[in-house]
Amino acid sequence: MTTHRIERLRAALARAGLDALALVPGANLWYLLGLTIHPSERLAIAFIPAAGPIRVVLPALEQPRAAAEARVPVRWYPWRDDTGYEAVLRACAGDLQLGGRLGVEYTAMRLLELRAIEAVARVETIDATGLLAELRMVKDTDELAAMRAAVRAVEAGLAAAIAAIRPGVTEREIAAAWEQAMRAAGSAEPAFTTIVASGPNSANPHHTTGERQIQTGDLVILDGGARVGGYVSDITRTVAVGEIDAELRRVYEIVREANAAGVAAARPSVSGAQIDAAARSVIEQAGYGAYFIHRTGHGLGLETHEPPYLHAANRAPLPSGATFTVEPGIYLPGRGGVRIEDDVVLTDHGAERLTTFPRELIVC
């Protein structure tokens, strides 16, 4: 399968007129070669030329594990702390006859790697982020199975988190209950920092989970993700603690309707902009447009945020097999917020929800 990925990559390199691709540790390296080289201050670069052997420069201590992990043939260029990487990188660049147009990851490559490459080869660096995102956007059966497993783990954790909610418990304690149950259900790690935002804190979409104690009348936003087999899930539910304000109750139903409208609008060949508009118009027509302060969703896979993005500027048609979140929200400063986030996969017949957790308001 990975060989197939390399073939697809090489076809994309040819279309983009690139002579080679340089990858640093991260999701693309795992996707294409199967390597999980530990990201650190030490230099590690994989070079995939348009034709010829794949070559990887890496710290010597990483080589045994990398050699065991590699899903395609690789020539290794290990370097040691006491001798440094310059000579090894130079030898690798020579063997590659590195030059011309080199694709790099603009959001991941550091000046460390860029300057090191420029010191040993004359290259024009080109952003390959979009090309790589396109390869990863359509998920195959194995990838979807991993994402479904990540959904099962996060939802098991979410049930435990909601069970832990009562007046006096802190946001941090609820997040800990979630993460522990999620791990017990098979998650290797949280996909991102678990968000538990209570009362007025729920009006901040990216609140930092803290020591606030839950009170009766709070809305509590719970936003978490699991990782299984490399792939992530990302779910948000908002619950009420006892009796809540009538306007907040209304706002909850508007967001639930916006979530349903976004999912209903999602079909292959529809754009991220159209799905965003479908969800956003429900909130705008209810008079809360100014309080929906983020995009409707984002792609999901090896990373929690990856293309496609669901906002007004993304007019590209979405392919069948794309996976993304639909997560409208309304945030009333000083009072509270509601977000309802589901993960979906596009099929030829429309969007299929991966997340199954109930969306009706849960009162704790």
Residues at the contact surface with ligand GLY, assessed by CB under 6 A: 192, 195, 223, 234, 298, 327, 341
- CA quadruple 273, 11, 8, 59: dihedral, nearest 10: -100
Residue placing its CB nearer to ligand GLY in the complex, 179 or 341? 341
Task: For residue 221, give the DSSP letter.
Answer: E
β strands within 134-253, DSSP E: 195-198, 219-224, 227-228, 231-232, 235-240
325 near Mn ion, rule: CB under 5 A: yes
Nearest residue (CB) to Mn ion, 259 versus 325: 325
Whether residue 347 contacts residue 363, with contact meaning beta carbons closer than 8 Å, is answered with no
Judged by CB, which is closer to ligand GLY: 152, or 295?
Answer: 295
Q: In angstroms, rounded to a whole number, what is the distance separating the alpha carbons of residues 198 and 311?
A: 27
Place of tokens 């420069």: 57
Nearer to ligand GLY, 192 or 291 (CB): 192
3-state secondary structure of 145: helix
Among residues 92 and 158, whose Cβ is nearest to Mn ion? 158
234 in contact with Mn ion (CB under 5 A) = yes
User: With CB cut-offs between 5 and 8 Å by kind, which of ligand GLY, Mn ion, none does residue 278 bind?
Assistant: none
CB of 192 to ligand GLY, least distance (A): 5
71 to 31, 170, 218: CA distances (angstroms): 10, 45, 50
In the complex, least distance from residue 88 CB atom to ligand GLY, rounded to whole angstroms: 39
Q: If binding is defined by CB under 5 A, does position 155 make contact with Mn ion?
A: no
Closest distance of CB 223 from Mn ion, Å: 4
How many of the chain's residues bind Mn ion (CB under 5 A)? 5
Are 121 and 320 in contact by the 8 Å Cβ rule? The answer is: no
Nearer to Mn ion, 103 or 299 (CB): 299
- Non-local (6+) Cβ contacts of 18 within 8 A are 50, 101, 102, 103, 126, 128, 131
Contact of residue 192 among Mn ion, ligand GLY, none (CB under 5-8 Å per partner type): ligand GLY
Quick one: what does residue 55 bind among ligand GLY, Mn ion, none, with the CB cut-off 5 to 8 Å set by partner type? none
Return left, alpha or beta for 75; rule: phi > 0 is left, psi -120 to 50 is alpha, else beta.
Answer: beta
x-marked contacts with Mn ion along 201-230 as a string, rule CB under 5 A: ----------------------x-------
Q: Please, are residues 235 and 151 in contact by the beta-carbon 8 Å criterion?
A: yes
Tell me if 161 sits within 8 A of 222, measured CB to CB. yes
- Of these partners, ligand GLY, Mn ion, none, which one is at the site of residue 148 (CB under 5 to 8 Å by kind)? none
Report in angstroms how near the CB of residue 223 gets to ligand GLY at its nearest. Answer: 5
CB of 205 to Mn ion, least distance (A): 9
Task: Report the residue number, 132 or 221, with the smaller CB distance to ligand GLY.
Answer: 221
E strand or H helix that includes residue 47: strand 45-49
| Minimum distance of ligand GLY from residue 341's CB (angstroms) | 6
Q: Which does 233 bind (CB under 5 to 8 A by kind): ligand GLY, Mn ion, none?
A: none
User: Residue with CB nearest ligand GLY?
Assistant: 223
Nearer of residues 105 and 327 to ligand GLY, judged by Cβ = 327
284 near 258, Cβ under 8 Å? no
Order across the sheet with 123-127: list the strands. Answer: 74-79, 54-59, 45-49, 20-23, 100-104, 123-127
Residues in touch with Mn ion (CB under 5 A): 223, 234, 236, 325, 341
